[in-house]
Amino acid sequence: MNKKKIKAIVDQNKQHKIALIGIPYDLNSSYMRGSAEAPPVIRQALFSDSSNLWTETGTDLGAETVLLDVGDLEFDEEGEPLQEIENSIAFLLDCKMLPISLGGDHTITYPIVKAFRRKYKKMSILLFDAHPDLYHEFQGNRYSHACTFARILESQLIDRLVQVGIRAMNGHQRAQAERFGVEVIEMRNWNEEIPLIFDSPVYISLDLDALDPSYAPGVSHREPGGLSVRQVISTLQTLKGQVVGADIVEFNPQNDPFKLTARVCAKLLKEIAALLVGR
């Protein structure tokens, strides 16, 4: 892990509120690899001259001491990747920064949330996803990206999980959702009036396949019938709670012919960052 390099960047920029970190890891993807290539592509879209760094709600992410890009995590050959992810996020939290992680597949959320749990005694997650990711095991892999929230909940890392965008539920995962008390707002029941109010710190996990593939085709698991970009932004802008961190996962640049999804990632990253700054 390139901890020294990240530490040097953070040490010189301690006043920054948000740390942007790339986590290029997709070894637990069940169907198609490629999301490990996402972090530099999202960065390129975010810092592109085709737009600016102001959020819709009036925050300038380009201002001094707001957003610090610490680069991508580099994994040691002999290291344990999930442990390295947990350690790097724990380090950023120790430096009093609010991390936004760019995946990678959804497996990375498990070690990230482990690190958050060390800091926050009470914590909720708002998940945007087409899939509940609640399999006890998938294709023989307990750390599959399809199992992330089963691992998080059985380890009691969070107190509340709210899922939106869900439209690929099956019987096993429905039973798991009941077992763990997950608040699933399925896409078929979803509307913009449902209030999202959190009274403990909230971590936002954004799986890009929550969006309809017509807006965000660059994912490994395209599931029609999803959220529009505007619906995700409205949900972010109206949620009530103290947002303390986020990830953007499952963007697969190999499936993004017009580089449209990269722009969607950058746009949503900005609006999520606005929540972190404005808390």
H or E segment and range at residue 175: helix 171-180
List residues binding Mn ion (CB under 5 A).
106, 129-131, 133, 207, 209
Nearer to Mn ion, 95 or 104 (CB): 104
- DSSP conformational letter for 50: T
Alpha carbons within 13 A on the beta-carbon side of 114: 16
**Minimum gap (Å) between residue 4 Cβ and Mn ion:** 32
**Minimum gap (Å) between residue 222 Cβ and Mn ion:** 10
Contact between residue 108 and residue 144 where contact means Cβ atoms under 8 Å apart: no
Listed as own residue / partner, the contacts of 213-218 with beta carbons closer than 8 Å and 24 or more positions apart are: 215/260, 215/264, 216/251, 216/260, 216/261, 216/264, 217/255, 217/256, 217/257, 217/260, 217/261, 218/251, 218/252, 218/253, 218/254, 218/255, 218/256, 218/260, 218/261, 218/262
**Minimum gap (Å) between residue 169 Cβ and Mn ion:** 12
Nearer to Mn ion, 16 or 131 (CB): 131
Nearer to Mn ion, 18 or 248 (CB): 248
Nearer to Mn ion, 81 or 104 (CB): 104
**What is the Cα gyration radius of the chain?**
17
**Minimum gap (Å) between residue 207 Cβ and Mn ion:** 4
**Minimum gap (Å) between residue 208 Cβ and Mn ion:** 8
H or E segment and range at residue 245: strand 243-249
The string of DSSP letters for 199-212 reads SS-EEEEEEGGGB-
How far is Cα 266 from Cα 40, in angstroms, rounded to an integer? Answer: 11
Burial class (CB within 10 angstroms; exposed 0-12, middle 13-18, buried 19+) of 264: buried
Nearer to Mn ion, 27 or 53 (CB): 27
Nearer to Mn ion, 133 or 212 (CB): 133
How far is Cα 132 from Cα 170, in angstroms, rounded to an integer? Answer: 9
How far is Cα 122 from Cα 20, in angstroms, rounded to an integer? Answer: 23
**Minimum gap (Å) between residue 150 Cβ and Mn ion:** 12
How far is Cα 100 from Cα 124, in angstroms, rounded to an integer? Answer: 16
**Minimum gap (Å) between residue 140 Cβ and Mn ion:** 19
Nearer to Mn ion, 59 or 220 (CB): 220
**Minimum gap (Å) between residue 151 Cβ and Mn ion:** 12
